[in-house]
Amino acid sequence: MEFRRAFNAAALLEKKSFFLFGPRSVGKTTLLERQLPSLKRIDLLDPEELSAYAARPKRLLEIDPGPNRALVIDEIQKLPSLLDVVQLAIQKHGIRFVLTGSSARKLKRQGVNLLGGRAWQAHLHPLSFHEISNFDLHRYLLRGGLPGIYLSESWQEELDAYLSLYLKEEIIQEAVTRDVPGFSRFLETIGANSGEELVIEALASDSGVKASTVRNYLDILFDTLLAFEVQPFTATKKRKAISRTKLWLFDVAVANTLAQRQTFSKGSDAFGRAFEHFIVREVQSYLSYRRSRQKLCYWRTTDQKEVDLILPGEIACEIKSTDRITERHLKHLVCLREEKLFPRLAIICTERERRIMDGIEIIPWKNFLEDLWEGKVTS
């Protein structure tokens, strides 16, 4: 099965060189091979190529970039010093680059300036609804969006191996942390708390490590692109909103596996959590691929009223994994409506047909995502 990726590498490269970051196995190399097949590729995961360029970085300037005047360098974090020559090639020779990596952490630690604005940054995310033909919701909630795992008949074993590989290669080998058991406990805690408010002290208590260590571990998750944040929406005046961010892991199945939620049925709490994760991840991916400046937020008040997904000035949505929306599901949106801040209020759910209830749109999840990717949700 081939996936129609939403990220357009060729269109972005026409404008400027760019870094393409993304967690391991999201499909960066495959995407570039399909979308930019004529470009010469330098693979720094290849020990021979890594050794050759480490010994003599300027050999990069001796390569014929072809008629497109462009090159791909895979896993640039393996040799950050090569970026000095990349910058020279961009400035003096007009060569454009696609520079891939699974983590910007090593580049940051070595003080690399990411080419000082001469290259943009882009991200590749797990597969989305928009990219998978004959999309199966239950399959996706269990397997997630990493292409190799989504397609595998042994997907659970693949997930377990993936997490072990990440711990080994991204965390241990880079010497980011030497307390592997502590980090493993922290990851399990994050899996169980993905989608919850980020409370450092609570995470420290649950994982059995110091609060200062948790802050360091969170930096690791963000730098290795294993997690993203959703900001609080605090512009309401009638009700005071909390100001803590929410943390979401980058893939729903990774969160499930870490939290030991390997199976679940529709209607269960685990299904509801996975469904919300899926929708939030989808909107975040859409905004990223459209290079939108729109912020993804959520709203929670000090008296525990909450709306799951907010695009300020445009739409506020509750996410409910139910086939039958009733008046009780509208309560928090009705409270938010009093602020008169949003032209649209909606509930994204598993009902089959669109309808309007007390002025609030009831939207089946598939219809909502189709509208999203067609540009009908955000301006």
pLDDT at 174: 52
Fold for the domain defined by 9-124: Rossmann fold (3.40.50)
Percent of the chain at pLDDT above 90? 81
User: Which of 103, 113, 101, 79 is closest to 220 using CA atoms?
Assistant: 103
**375 vs 110 pLDDT, higher one:** 375
For residue 61, count CB atoms less than 10 angstroms from its CB and return exposed for 0-12, middle for 13-18, buried for 19 or more: middle
Phi, psi of 248 (to 5 degrees): -125, 135
**184 vs 370 pLDDT, higher one:** 370
Confidence of residue 141 (pLDDT cuts 50, 70, 90): very high
pLDDT at 225: 85
Asked if the model's pLDDT at residue 125 lies above 50, the reply is yes
pLDDT at 3: 94
User: Which of 57, 46, 127, 124 is closest to 88 using CA atoms?
Assistant: 57
Tokens for 17, please give them.
């060189």
Backbone conformation region of residue 159, classed left if phi is above 0, alpha if psi is from -120 to 50, else beta: alpha
Select the highest-mean-pLDDT range: 115-124, 172-181, 187-196: 187-196
pLDDT at 181: 81
Buried b (16+ CB within 10 A) or exposed e, 303-317: eebebbbbbbeebbb
Confidence of residue 170 (pLDDT cuts 50, 70, 90): low
Q: Which of 33-42, 94-103, 242-251, 340-349 has the lowest mean pLDDT?
A: 94-103
Confidence of residue 109 (pLDDT cuts 50, 70, 90): low
Buried b (16+ CB within 10 A) or exposed e, 172-205: eeeebbeeeebbbebbbbbbbbbbebbeeeebbe
Asked if the model's pLDDT at residue 175 lies above 50, the reply is no
pLDDT at 352: 96
Indicate where the chain has its CATH 3.40.50.300 domain(s): 9-124
Percent of the chain at pLDDT above 70? 95
Average pLDDT over residues 331-358: 97
User: What is the overall mean pLDDT for the chain?
Assistant: 92
Stated as kind and residue range, the H or E segment containing 202 is helix 200-207
- Evaluate whether 248 touches 233 at the Cβ level (below 8 Å): no
Confidence of residue 325 (pLDDT cuts 50, 70, 90): very high
